[in-house]
C-alpha cells in the first residue's frame, strides 16, 4: 500500500490539532490550562518587549516583507517562487480569517489591554501570519541553508506567538491553532505552485 506524501500527513495532523482544539474549547476543557499559561507568559515577558516582538506579526509588516521579497524574486527571474510567496502570505491571511469567522471565539480579558484589538481570537492571526511568512521564506532558502532557516523560522514564529499570549490578546490554544493553520496553508500554497518543477 502506497504511503501518502509527507506534506499531506503534516496537513492532516495540523487539521486534526485545530479540530481537537475547537472541540476542547467548545467543551470548556481548556479554560484552566489556557488561563494558567497566559498568566505565566504575562509574568515572564514584560509588556514593552512583547509589544515590540508582536509588531513583526502585524499584517502590514508581513505583506510589506512578502512584497519586497516577491518583487526581488521576480526581477531575478524566479516567478514560481515569487508567486508561491504571494499566495502563501496573502492567502494565509484570508484562510485564517475564515477560520476565525467559523469558530467565533471571544478574546481573553484577563489583562489590561495594551493595544487596540478587533475581531475574534481563534486562531491567532499574528501567530499564523508570522509562521507562514517565516516558514515560506525558509523554504525559499538555498537547500544547504534550509534546515538552519527553518530553525530560525520556528524560533521567530514562536516568539511572535508568545508575545500575543503575554499581551493577553490571545489564548495559548489560539496560538497553537495559528501555527497549525500556517502549516496547512504553506502546504496548500506549495502544491498550487510546485517550485520543484523549475527554478523559475
109: helix, strand or coil: coil
Q: Is residue 182 a contact partner of residue 135, using CB atoms and an 8 Å limit? A: yes
pTM comes to 0.89
Could you tell me how far CA 32 lies from the centroid of its own chain?
24
Burial of 92 (0-12, 13-18, 19+ CB in 10 A): buried
Query: Domain boundaries in the chain?
Result: 6-197
Interval 99-112: pLDDT, tens? 999 888 889 988 87
**Whole-number pLDDT of residue 117:** 76
Amino acid at each position: 500500500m502506497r504511503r501518502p506524501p509527507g506534506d499531506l500527513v503534516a496537513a492532516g495532523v495540523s487539521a486534526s490539532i485545530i479540530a481537537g482544539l475547537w472541540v476542547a474549547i467548545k467543551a470548556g476543557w481548556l479554560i484552566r490550562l489556557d488561563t494558567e499559561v497566559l498568566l505565566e507568559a504575562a509574568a515572564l515577558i514584560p509588556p514593552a518587549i512583547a509589544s515590540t516582538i508582536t509588531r513583526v506579526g502585524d499584517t502590514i509588516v508581513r505583506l510589506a516583507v512578502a512584497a519586497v521579497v516577491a518583487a526581488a524574486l521576480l526581477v531575478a527571474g524566479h516567478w514560481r517562487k515569487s508567486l508561491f510567496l504571494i499566495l502563501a502570505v496573502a492567502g494565509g491571511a484570508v484562510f485564517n480569517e475564515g477560520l476565525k469567522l467559523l469558530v467565533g471565539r471571544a478574546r481573553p480579558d484577563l489583562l489590561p489591554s495594551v493595544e487596540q484589538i478587533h475581531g475574534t481570537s481563534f486562531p491567532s492571526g499574528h501567530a499564523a501570519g508570522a509562521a507562514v511568512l517565516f516558514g515560506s521564506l525558509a523554504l525559499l532558502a538555498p537547500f544547504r541553508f534550509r534546515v538552519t532557516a527553518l530553525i530560525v523560522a520556528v524560533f521567530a514564529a514562536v516568539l511572535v506567538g508568545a508575545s500575543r499570549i503575554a499581551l493577553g490578546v490571545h489564548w495559548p490554544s489560539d496560538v497553537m491553532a495559528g501555527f497549525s493553520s500556517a502549516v496547512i496553508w504553506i502546504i496548500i500554497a506549495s502544491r498550487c505552485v510546485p517550485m520543484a518543477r523549475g527554478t523559475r
